[in-house]
């Protein structure tokens, strides 16, 4: 599927919404923006989940997630969804913000607007002074390094080149202000970017 000139192509979006009216509205929003809503059995690039009050997020693994929720409790929040990149928007977010979050999530970014109370989770930026913002891929690589994986082992596991792993690690070192793998892991643990 291709979008209008100058726009990235539309995304395959796994749409989860229990309320049929909300599902229809979100499907129309996605179609209008050039994206294709798909069912769980079909391949998808981003999941868009509408979470009504009192509902728990579904287990969704395999890609980034945009969660529409008015309030997210720590025990049922992004950490419980089973995915590594969770964006959170309020359920009443304007269509342009939802569409932008879908595109951003597909690009590996995490979106969280004021009023969308996502709990802190390992790997996500914190609203604290001095917090370091690592991309989801950088956090993933830092966690593997913390587990003792070499650049080649990380590359094999992620299906990328060892050069790309080195590039990501250099960015991690720069962002964390460190010069060795051990210092990076220690700083990542201190800032709760990774867990061991």
Q: Which domain does 71 fall in, by range?
A: 12-106
Per-position pLDDT tens, the chain of length 196: 444 444 446 889 999 988 899 999 999 999 998 999 998 778 888 989 998 887 777 777 778 888 888 765 443 344 444 444 688 888 888 888 888 888 888 887 777 765 444 444 434 444 444 455 788 888 889 989 988 999 999 999 989 999 999 999 999 998 888 999 999 988 888 887 887 6
**In terms of domains, do 64 and 147 share one?**
no
**In terms of domains, do 98 and 29 share one?**
yes
CATH code of the domain containing 159: 1.10.10.10
Domain contains 118:
no
pLDDT of residue 163: 92
Q: Determine the Cα–Cα distance for residues 28 and 15; give it in Å rounded to an integer.
A: 11
**In terms of domains, do 36 and 94 share one?**
yes
Q: Is 153 left (phi over 0), alpha (psi -120 to 50) or beta?
A: alpha
pLDDT of residue 187: 86
pTM for the structure as a whole: 0.53
DSSP3 helix / strand / coil % (the chain, rounded to 5): 40, 15, 50
List CB contacts of 103: < 8 A, sequence separation 6 or more: 8, 11
**In terms of domains, do 94 and 152 share one?**
no
In the chain, the number of structural domains is: 2
Terminal CA-to-CA distance of the chain, rounded, Å? 41
pLDDT of residue 72: 57
The DSSP bridge partners found for residue 66 are 48, 87
H or E element: which one contains 155? Answer: helix 151-158
Helices (H) and strands (E) in the chain, counts: 6, 5
**In terms of domains, do 144 and 75 share one?**
no
């Amino acid at each position: 599927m291709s979008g209008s000139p100058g726009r990235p192509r539309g995304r395959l979006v796994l749409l989860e919404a229990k309320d049929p009216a909300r599902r229809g509205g979100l499907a129309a929003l996605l179609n209008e923006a050039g994206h294709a809503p798909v069912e769980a059995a079909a391949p998808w690039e981003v999941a868009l989940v509408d979470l009504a009050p009192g509902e728990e997020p579904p287990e969704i693994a395999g890609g980034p997630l945009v969660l529409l929720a008015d309030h997210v409790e720590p025990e049922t929040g992004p950490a419980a969804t089973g995915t590594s990149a969770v964006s959170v928007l309020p359920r009443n977010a304007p269509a342009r913000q939802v569409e932008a979050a879908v595109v951003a999530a597909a690009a590996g970014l995490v979106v969280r607007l004021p009023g969308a109370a996502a709990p802190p989770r390992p790997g996500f930026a914190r609203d604290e002074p001095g917090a370091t913002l690592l991309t989801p891929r950088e956090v993933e690589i830092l966690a593997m390094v913390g587990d003792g994986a070499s650049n080649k082992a990380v590359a094999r596991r992620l299906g990328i080149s060892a050069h790309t792993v080195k590039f990501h690690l250099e960015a991690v070192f720069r962002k964390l202000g460190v010069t060795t793998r051990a210092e990076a892991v220690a700083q990542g643990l201190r800032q709760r970017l990774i867990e061991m």
